[in-house]
């Protein structure tokens, strides 16, 4: 990095830099990534992860991974494990693995403290009554009839709640603030509710659970978090966040909000992603079409490309809709440098080299990656009978078609220049077999033919080809912006978001393909082996296509 010309800072970096400059936080800053373990992480979480960990890394601080597990109804250990896997896969190391549930006893004592200060009370109202008491954004609420219970009575009742004497919903603990406050969150918000239910970590030790607002800020404070960074929708919670900290006189943490990531042509909310899974639109949370971390990983996205993406999208407070093309750019940029080039024919048509000896097989040394001189070459078998891509041959080609057609010449990648002499058609008029002659003196690396062709096409030798299933993915939604669709987004699912090619042919070297190593199918895109592949069957996922200016030209 060029230290003399630092990149401009985002608003959070500026705040931190200023904090540090004024001598605050001499022990360094502390951030936290606080997921609720009720689902899988998605690319929006990646933004938050990169932000929280990135800030600490940049300013010499630390980051905790804290599970916000205050609602036993939705949370499971399975999600905890998946989240930990995703965060580490992204390349980050947390200082401490913590849980809001670690603090249940402390939180209970905090609540008792507020009751003693006459700042909290037990309310017997029903959920409906409490909702009615809240009023509306434009009209003040009304005070609960239980609002002025004595401290002693509140203490007794709250203890009874903890001891399991009361049924779910019978009572709640509320903060006593201001039922006429302009901010709805300050109208005597709930602190505790009764839930006779086992928690994934604390089991049956508790039957009362703190609400988000009475757990998050307190957890931040207990951990000494200096910068509690969350998304914009929590902005209205901040006065309450500050109120609890002030009344409890505990370590003053500060909350800052940034705009969440929105990506074009997909949905991001856990609820909608869950719907896609439940309604079997996708095959699971890690379906390669999902914007989840696990989905992107299976799709072939690298951690580096996702970190780079998060870096490029920036951090600000205005709503945004990032175009999918930026994510695609980031993975192409990464894979272009690192992925070995191989040949695969997805839609095969037979090509016979008429003047090539019947039983001859040449082992051609073809470079693995022109972008990486260290990558060396591999041996690729060439023979008389080849498969080429059906779309690389046209019976009646337009003028700028640099591929094969009657009497046209092309180079076979890493092999010879050929000229099409004739072809057979199937009954339905499609091409059955193409016959061509090769120029023996045009062999790659020792070409003395003086023939110059505009096009190079990929191929595989039929007797050496390996069968593979190929799954090509495309955007999940046919609309850019799903934000206004609401639940109607299901009507805009791209029917071609997955296309399976059952029987493609790939070159021999791919027999040893591995799940973690991306390859480029020359002229087609970047691919990776799917975990569904077994020893007997290759299955590849298309991570992203190559840029295709020819397709663009054709669509004009």
125 binds RNA (CB under 7 A): yes
Q: Which residues are catalytic?
A: 36, 260, 270
Half-sphere exposure of 506 (CA within 13 A, CB side): 26
Instruction: Select the span of 107-115, 155-163, 500-508, 541-549 touching RNA (CB under 7 A).
Output: 541-549
Instruction: Select the span of 90-98, 220-228, 312-320, 459-467 touching RNA (CB under 7 A).
Output: 312-320
Instruction: Select the span of 241-249, 378-386, 411-419, 487-495 touching RNA (CB under 7 A).
Output: 411-419
173: part of which helix (H) or strand (E)? strand 172-175
199 binds RNA (CB under 7 A): no
312 binds RNA (CB under 7 A): yes
In angstroms, the Cα distances linking 13 to 21, 313, 398 are 12, 15, 55
- Among residues 246, 363, 496, 553, the one that binds RNA under rule CB under 7 A: 553
CB 442 → RNA: shortest distance, Å?
7
Our CB check for RNA shows the closer of 427 and 484 to be 484
515 binds RNA (CB under 7 A): no
In angstroms, the Cα distances linking 501 to 238, 342, 467, 470, 506 are 52, 18, 11, 5, 12
Cβ density class 360-395: b for 16+ within 10 Å, e for less: eeeebebbbbeeeeeeeebebbbbbbbbbbeebbee
323 binds RNA (CB under 7 A): yes
196 binds RNA (CB under 7 A): no
Check if the beta carbon of residue 529 is closer than 8 Å to that of residue 514.
yes
Which residues inside 423-462 make contact with RNA, applying CB under 7 A?
443-445, 447, 455-457
Task: In whole angstroms, give the CA distance from residue 302 to residue 297.
Answer: 7
283 binds RNA (CB under 7 A): no
Q: What are phi and psi of 204, to 5 degrees?
A: -105, 20
Which residues inside 90-119 make contact with RNA, applying CB under 7 A?
none
For residue 14, what are its two tokens? 């500026």
Our CB check for RNA shows the closer of 283 and 371 to be 371
Our CB check for RNA shows the closer of 537 and 547 to be 547
414 binds RNA (CB under 7 A): yes
71 binds RNA (CB under 7 A): yes
192 strand-pairing partners: 173, 210
Our CB check for RNA shows the closer of 151 and 232 to be 232
249 binds RNA (CB under 7 A): no
- Among residues 203, 370, 373, 495, the one that binds RNA under rule CB under 7 A: 370
CB 10 → RNA: shortest distance, Å?
4
Instruction: Select the span of 24-32, 53-61, 284-292, 327-335 touching RNA (CB under 7 A).
Output: 327-335
Interface map 471-500 toward RNA (x if CB under 7 A): ------------xx----------------
Which residues inside 4-63 make contact with RNA, applying CB under 7 A?
8-11, 14, 17, 36
Half-sphere exposure of 255 (CA within 13 A, CB side): 25
CB 66 → RNA: shortest distance, Å?
10
411 binds RNA (CB under 7 A): yes
For residue 435, what are its two tokens? 């016959």
- Among residues 194, 273, 386, 434, the one that binds RNA under rule CB under 7 A: 194
Any residues with CB less than 8 A from the CB of 182 and at least 6 apart, and which? none
In angstroms, the Cα distances linking 268 to 17, 22, 265 are 31, 38, 10
Task: In whole angstroms, give the CA distance from residue 495 to residue 281.
Answer: 10
From the list 470, 455, 398, 410, the residue with the least C-alpha distance to 437 is: 410
* Total binding residues toward RNA, as defined by CB under 7 A: 94
Task: In whole angstroms, give the CA distance from residue 62 to residue 54.
Answer: 10
* Angle (deg, nearest 10), helices 43-58 and 303-313: 80
């Amino acid at each position: 990095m060029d230290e003399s010309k630092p990149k401009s800072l985002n608003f959070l970096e500026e705040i931190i830099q200023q904090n540090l400059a004024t001598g605050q936080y001499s022990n360094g800053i502390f951030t936290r990534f606080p997921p609720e373990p009720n689902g899988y992480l998605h690319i929006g979480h990646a933004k938050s992860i990169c932000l929280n960990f990135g800030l600490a890394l940049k300013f010499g601080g630390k980051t905790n991974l804290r599970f916000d597990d205050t609602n036993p109804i939705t949370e499971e250990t399975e999600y905890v494990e998946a989240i930990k896997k995703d965060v580490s896969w992204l390349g980050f190391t947390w200082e401490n693995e913590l849980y809001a549930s670690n603090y249940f006893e402390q939180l209970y004592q905090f609540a008792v403290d507020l009751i003693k200060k006459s700042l909290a009370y037990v309310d017997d109202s029903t959920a409906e009554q409490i909702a009615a008491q809240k009023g509306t954004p434009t009209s003040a609420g009304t005070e609960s009839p239980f609002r002025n219970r004595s401290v002693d009575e509140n203490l007794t009742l709250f203890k009874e709640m903890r001891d399991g004497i009361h049924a779910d919903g019978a009572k709640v603990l509320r903060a006593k603030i201001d039922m006429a406050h302009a901010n709805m969150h300050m109208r005597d918000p709930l602190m505790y509710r009764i839930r006779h239910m086992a928690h994934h970590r604390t089991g049956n030790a508790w039957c009362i659970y703190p609400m988000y607002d009475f757990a998050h800020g307190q957890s931040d404070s207990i951990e000494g978090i200096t910068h509690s960074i969350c998304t914009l929708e929590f902005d209205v919670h901040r006065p309450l966040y500050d109120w609890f900290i002030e009344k409890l006189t505990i370590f003053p943490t500060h909350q800052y909000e940034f705009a969440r990531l929105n990506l074009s042509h997909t949905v991001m909310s856990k609820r909608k992603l869950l719907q896609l899974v439940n309604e079997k639109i996708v095959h699971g949370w890690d379906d390669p079409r999902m914007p989840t971390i696990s989905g992107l990983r299976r799709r072939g996205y690298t951690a580096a490309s996702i970190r780079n993406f998060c870096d490029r999208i920036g951090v600000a407070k205005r709503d945004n809709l990032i175009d999918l093309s930026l994510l695609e750019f980031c993975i192409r940029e990464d894979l272009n440098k690192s992925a070995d080039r191989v040949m695969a024919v997805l839609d095969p048509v037979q090509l016979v080299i008429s003047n090539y000896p019947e039983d001859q097989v040449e082992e051609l040394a073809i470079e693995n990656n022109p972008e990486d001189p260290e990558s060396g070459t591999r041996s690729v078998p060439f023979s008389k009978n080849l498969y080429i891509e059906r779309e690389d041959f046209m019976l009646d080609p337009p003028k700028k078609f640099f591929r094969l057609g009657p009497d046209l010449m092309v180079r076979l990648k890493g092999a010879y220049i050929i000229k099409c002499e004739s072809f057979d058609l199937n009954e339905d008029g499609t091409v059955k077999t193409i016959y061509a002659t090769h120029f023996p003196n045009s062999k790659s690396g020792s070409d003395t033919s003086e023939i110059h062709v505009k096009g190079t096409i990929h191929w595989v030798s039929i007797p050496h080809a390996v069968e593979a299933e190929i799954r090509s993915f495309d955007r999940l939604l046919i609309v850019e912006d799903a934000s206004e669709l609401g639940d109607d987004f299901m009507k805009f699912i791209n029917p071609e978001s997955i296309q399976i090619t059952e029987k493609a042919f790939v070159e021999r070297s791919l027999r040893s393909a591995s799940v973690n190593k991306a390859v480029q199918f020359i002229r087609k895109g970047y691919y990776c082996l799917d975990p569904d592949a077994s020893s007997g069957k290759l299955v590849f996922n298309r991570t992203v296509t190559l840029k295709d200016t020819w397709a663009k030209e054709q669509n004009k």
